[in-house]
Amino acid sequence: MPNELTGTPLVPSAGASQNQAPSPETRDALGRRLKDLRISVTDRCNFRCTYCMPKEVFGPDFAFLPHQELLTFEEIARLTQVFVRHGVRKVRLTGGEPLLRRDLEVLIAMLNQIDGVEDIALTTNGSLLTLDKARRLKAAGLRRITISLDSLDNDIFTSMNDVRFPVSKVLEAIDAAKHAGLSPVKINMVVRKGTNDHCVVKMAEHFRGTGHILRFIEYMDVGNSNQWKLDEVVPAAQILEAIDSQWPLEPVSPVLPGEVAKRYRYRDGKGEIGIIASVTQPFCSGCTRARLSSEGLLYTCLFGTRGHDLRAMLREGASDEQISERLESIWTARTDRYSELRSEQTRTQRRNRVEMSHIGG
Ligand code: SAM
Ligand code: SF4
Ligand code: SF4
């Protein structure tokens, strides 16, 4: 398959060497390894979720990045190779809305060719996921998919995505993913008090027994746009209690240490759910995740205020060795534990944080 910009075949880009022996595992200043890489492939989105890209901020005049500012697929693949040297094994493509990036399957195929990449996943709002697209993504090497859906109630969902996108289309996307062999599909539901918290049990009921894994996410204070308030967070314990009182649950031990979602299964065997309790039960001590923004800034925390410009290095002709050294120095200096520190900080002290749609959720 040719690449999206140049039409060249899928080969490692200039400057990328093959068969590099991975260096000994790289650990940060708090002893955490570098294992996962989240790559934002675009800062644009066709939704305006009120908790992520509210219309008042991301209006018609909002200056998104011009295409030439985005990392090309070759640049992403080349950086990923360097990350793999330092321990990355799992890659997740996100955004913005990643399926807005044309021919995303071409990038997936390129990443799939990288020795050491064991898992490629995608988080999407599902709006552009047809059966044909899902099959192409799967054929290119996509292993897992997460589709976001905040409510089954059409009025609530459309008011949350704020572009009148209907629930039925997201449900079709979930089916498409399943039929393409991307099961189990994970479903992300951000729970916001007073908005969709009363939908939790209905969502659980709908997805119980389907084989899909519903994950509840505590509403987070990412970026500066969503006017986050702590009292809009529904604590994970409350979500669990609501479901457990209907269908008793039991914890499932994590498959991998450092998994962000706490897993529970229905005692009646009807499947499992996950809870991402980043506000009430922070998991920074096991955080092995780096984030690459669509224009090539490396963030070592979702709540980072400053990215490290890897694109500049690429475009100024740095070698893989030089990028690798830079990455090593960034990761080994990492001390981020924002969520753990959150409760100790005065909530009025808003820092100039990067938006989630920009950095990749
Ligand atoms: N557009 C894609 C989507 O919505 O799935 C991928 C990007 S989105 C930023 C990734 C995930 O972050 C979504 O599941 C979304 O619901 C979640 N998210 C966005 N803003 C959030 C917030 N303030 N708190 C918690 N989760 C959030
Ligand atoms: Fe777009 Fe995803 Fe953010 Fe919603 S959560 S605005 S779909 S990037
Ligand atoms: Fe990782 Fe930062 Fe989230 Fe803590 S707050 S889990 S360090 S991304």
Residue 7 has pLDDT above 60, yes or no: no
Phi, psi of 298 (to 5 degrees): -90, 125
87 lies in a domain?
Answer: yes
Starting from the CA of residue 58, give the closest ligand.
2
Q: Is the dihedral of CA 27, 32, 37, 42 positive or negative?
A: negative
Any idea what the CATH number is for the domain that residue 293 is in?
Answer: 3.20.20.70
Residue 347 has pLDDT above 50, yes or no: no
* Cα gap 99→124, rounded to integer Å: 7
219 lies in a domain?
Answer: yes
- Mean pLDDT over residues 21-31, rounded? 79
44 lies in a domain?
Answer: yes
- Mean pLDDT over residues 11-29, rounded? 57
Judged by average pLDDT, the poorest of 17-31, 57-71, 209-223 is: 17-31
CA–centroid distance, 36 to ligand 1, in Å, is 17
Q: What is the pLDDT of residue 342?
A: 79
Judged by average pLDDT, the poorest of 42-51, 83-92, 117-126, 344-353 is: 344-353
96 lies in a domain?
Answer: yes
Residue 29 has pLDDT above 70, yes or no: yes
25 lies in a domain?
Answer: no
Using 50, 70 and 90 to split pLDDT, how confident is the model at 137?
very high
- Mean pLDDT over residues 310-338, rounded? 97
CA–centroid distance, 190 to ligand 1, in Å, is 7
- Considering only CA atoms, which residue is closest to atom 20 of ligand 1? 52
- Considering only CA atoms, which residue is closest to atom 2 of ligand 3? 301
Q: What is the pLDDT of residue 220?
A: 92
CA dihedral 185, 190, 193, 198 (to 10 degrees): -20
Whole-model pTM? 0.91
Q: Burial level of 205, CB count in 10 A (0-12/13-18/19+)?
A: middle
- Considering only CA atoms, which residue is closest to atom 12 of ligand 1? 361
* Cα gap 306→192, rounded to integer Å: 27
106 lies in a domain?
Answer: yes
Whole-number average pLDDT of the chain: 90
Cβ of 47 below 6 Å from ligand 2: yes
- Mean pLDDT over residues 314-328, rounded? 98
- Mean pLDDT over residues 53-67, rounded? 96
Residue 172 has pLDDT above 50, yes or no: yes
Judged by average pLDDT, the poorest of 205-219, 234-248, 272-286 is: 272-286
Residue 218 half-sphere exposure, CB side, CA atoms within 13 Å? 26
The preferred substitution site among 34, 36, 228, 287 for testing ligand 3, maximizing ligand atoms within 8 Å of CB, is 287
20 lies in a domain?
Answer: no
Using 50, 70 and 90 to split pLDDT, how confident is the model at 222?
confident
Q: Which long-range contacts (CB under 8 A, 24 or more apart) does 159-162 make?
A: 159/50, 160/49, 160/50, 160/51, 160/195, 160/196, 161/47, 161/48, 161/49, 161/125, 162/47, 162/48, 162/49, 162/50, 162/54, 162/55
Cβ of 222 below 6 Å from ligand 1: yes
**How many domains would you assign to the chain?**
1
Strands 308-309 and 272-276: unpaired
- Contact residues of ligand 3, CB 6 A cut-off: 283-284, 287, 289, 301-303, 336-339
Parent domain of 241:
36-359
342 lies in a domain?
Answer: yes
Starting from the CA of residue 145, give the closest ligand.
1
* Cα gap 275→339, rounded to integer Å: 16
Q: Are 42 and 104 in contact (CB under 8 A)?
A: no
